Amino acid sequence: MLFSSNIFIFVFLPSVILIYYTLLRSSRNAQNIFLFLASIFFYAWGEPKFVLVMLLSITASWFFGLMVDKYREDKPKAHLFIVADVAFNLFVIFIFKYLMFTAENINFLFGRDVIKVPYIMLPIGISFFTFQAMSYVIDIYRKDGKAQKSIINVGLYIAFFPQLIAGPIVRYQTVSEQIQDRKETLDDFADGVTRFIIGFSKKVLIANNMAVIADQAFSTAGDNSFLMAWLGAVAYTFQIYFDFGGYSDMAIGLGKMFGFHFLENFNYPYISKSATEFWRRWHISLSTWFRDYLYIPLGGNRVDSAARHIFNIFFVWLMTGIWHGANWTFIAWGLMWFCLLIFEKYSGFDIKDESHRYGVLRHVYLMFFAILGWVIFRADNITQAFVYMKNMFFIGTAVIDDAFLEYFRQYALLFIIAAVASTPVVKWIGEKKWSRTQAAGLAGAAVLAVLFLVSVSFLVKDAYNPFIYFNF
């Protein structure tokens, strides 16, 4: 079930809110049980047979968490249970996400069918809930959260429907106290509704329309003109940001409606001036997860040699690419960012330019490589990525074609809106003193109402509604 669907907007969410705040308002345990069961139903709506996979992950994490807490002072045993939990979750994600890819590449390497390639469907959101499951046990060992005696509470943390299928990856230390001791307020609920509508509008009005252009451009990768190739690449750049960023906004808003406070997942990444800054602003929950659970344990930058430091960064970005999917395009995308980060760190480029003399050039540099990276990320395979980029670099193609003229005519205004919405301009306006008056508040509420109604109208008309991170 998607947040941007009629069944969620008009049936599931209103029903859950009504029951949570009326029938169950006097019992936190009853509310937690209900939210857990509602989350299981939410997941089962689209993936009924894979509910067992998630329940198995929850059960394993609950058990390993109790064992780590019990044997905390017995380091060898505690470490054994941590390793067992990590191994279990990585095994699950390998079987469902990477087994086919591994088998296909082994067969390609040997030039024959050494391994029979099985067809395995990918459970929705498996990369997200397995990482949260690992976070639970590790954070208990680090004393960043208390072990939950109730398996329902562990299940609620891992399976809570706002962040279940596409994040943000919620660290256990962030919400450990909120599971039992959260406090719902009218202000938080109102903020949650506002945040949800903003994310909903980003997804439906901007991302879905940008997807029309991007899908067309990538489906005709070899035939695009120079301008159409760039238009499609920029469209995908906006699509993935407003798709995933909008979904994160909706998740954070939904969490607030039920008293949960999740950390931000995006902070205007397209205003960055370096790869280092970009990854402090893009998919923050993933980059901090890899930093705290992989990069720092490997030694981070506190190592004896540059070679080991480079290896640590390489390994993290190799894993980041692999996390996104079983395709060489994702690995190439991750290694591209590794190369940029190494260049910046060892050339001094990532040192903040206080004079701002080269701000525009640094921003152009970042966005140029970000867009190229998204082309690799979006392509079906490495060959298609190279074919697409060949046209972007004006190699053997026309400058302009009819497709570019048609899409540019229809969507020029949307590109301007997307560019403005990618910056903190609207946030800056909202923070001004004059924007906090009663009149401004009423105007803002009216704008939100219009955005919601227009977005809903697109859903009612069954407009194009893809979701990029649905299968990550």
Of 186, 183, 218, which Cα lies nearest the Cα of 468? 218
Q: Which of 162, 182, 202 lies at the terminal end of a domain, its last residue?
A: 182
pLDDT value of position 221: 87
- Shared domain for 168 and 269, answered yes or no, is no
pTM (2 d.p.): 0.91
Query: How high does pLDDT run on average in the chain?
Result: 90
Asked whether residue 52 is domain-assigned, the answer is yes
- Shared domain for 54 and 126, answered yes or no, is yes
pLDDT value of position 335: 96
For 50-107, write each residue's pLDDT tens digit: 899 999 999 999 999 999 999 988 889 999 999 999 999 999 999 999 999 999 899 8
**What is the dihedral sign for C-alpha 98, 100, 103, 108?**
negative
DSSP assigned state of 393: T
The alpha carbon of 38 is separated from its chain's Cα centroid by a whole number of angstroms, namely: 22
Q: Annotated catalytic residue: which of 261, 283, 309, 324?
A: 324
pLDDT value of position 269: 96
Map tokens 């003193």 to a residue.
433
pLDDT value of position 440: 74
Of 207, 247, 66, 244, which Cα lies nearest the Cα of 148? 66
pLDDT value of position 449: 92
pLDDT value of position 15: 96
- Shared domain for 14 and 42, answered yes or no, is yes
Is 324 one of the annotated active-site residues of the chain? yes
What is the number of H-type helices and E-type strands within the chain? 22, 0
3-state SS of the chain: helix, strand, coil percent to 5?
75, 0, 25
Asked whether residue 36 is domain-assigned, the answer is yes
- Shared domain for 157 and 247, answered yes or no, is no
- Shared domain for 10 and 86, answered yes or no, is yes
Residues of the chain with pLDDT under 70: 351-357, 433-436, 462-472
For 167-183, write each residue's pLDDT tens digit: 788 889 888 889 999 99
pLDDT value of position 5: 85
- Shared domain for 146 and 231, answered yes or no, is no
Domain encompassing residue 453: 188-273+353-471
- Shared domain for 159 and 71, answered yes or no, is yes
How many separate domains does the chain show?
A: 2
